[in-house]
Amino acid sequence: MSKNSHRSRFKLQLINKSALIRLTFLITILLALIFWGWSMMFWMPKISYQGKLPPLKPAEITLKKLLEQDLQTLSVEIGSRNNNQYQKLNQAKDFFINSFSQAGYKVQIQEYQIDNQSYYNLEVEKTGITKPEEIIVIGGHYDSAYTSPGANDNGTGAAATLELARIFANQNTNRTIKFVAFTNEEPPFFWTENMGSLVYAKNLKQQGKNIVAMLSLETMGYFDDQPGSQEYPYPINLIYPNQGNFISFIGNLKSSNLVKTAISSFRNHVKFPSQGTALPASIPGVGWSDQWSFWQQDYQGIMVTDTAPYRYKYYHTGDDTIDKIDFDKFTRVVNGLVAVISDLSQ
């Protein structure tokens, strides 16, 4: 064999070896990215509860009655409440002001104008003892969509915000907690400069407030054990269960650690099914509530939800009524959030 043949063969071996090294490197990078994506978006600490739910404890029974009363006021006595039912929106505002005040809070009212009409975000604060400058925001919007009475969307989130504020009124925490009833989350203000939570979050940013966590309580009271009752945007449907019997913790990618911290606490304290994920905000549903407003100000925020239109067929309709709410399960979720907030606030 000639020297040229030996050289050609040697060069070919070097090329093949180099290509193999590059391929191995690319596969390693790809696997690393897949692992990173899975751990960032889908992996959650601990395991979702499965099995029969235990009976409600006496304190939970009391909480259930209070939640029922709140939902009766918001969705039955007041009903549809938004810019087209402005008087009823103000009735809901007055209900929260009175309820927060009766719990011992001084209500901070953030008023702003749209077309010469006033709208109101309502804030109460439990000041932290050792780390008061570190702030947790717990919020739910009290307006409803179109002509909907808004029992689930978002009477449940607003009522949960109120009851959690009542529970923490007499508890000491290291971090400061702000409980906020937001206005104008629904159309036509959704994702606009007039969305109540965006007005509120911008003001926090302008003041330089250190918001370490935001929990948006959104459409939390409908559950269904039937297979096929839960839907998702593709390809999320390939990963999560198809029974709508769980509460979900959802964040954007920057809020991944907050999602994991919150669901870990929930699973540690409560026997109730839960799912969590941190996804790109562009995926439909991920940013469909007030946590979106905090993302715009570069704060971490998550949504606690029954997944709304991906489960609840009465979403944004006149049939979103109080009889659709599973108050036993809704109460378990709210009670679980007491533990989550308590852990976050320390």
- pTM assigned to the model: 0.91
The percentage of the chain sitting over the pLDDT mark of 90, rounded to a whole number, equals 85
Pairwise pLDDT comparison (27 vs 197), residue with the higher score: 197
Indicate the angle between helix axes 86-102 and 157-168, nearest 10 degrees.
Answer: 20
Q: Over the Cα atoms of the chain, what is R_g?
A: 24
215-243 residue pLDDT tens: 999 999 999 999 999 999 877 888 888 99
**Helix, coil or strand: residue 187:** coil
> Residue 175 corresponds to which tokens in the numbers above?
């971090």
**Helix, coil or strand: residue 226:** strand
Residue 18 makes CB contacts below 8 A (sequence gap 6+) with: none
61-85 residue pLDDT tens: 999 999 999 999 999 999 999 999 9
> Residue 274 corresponds to which tokens in the numbers above?
């839960």
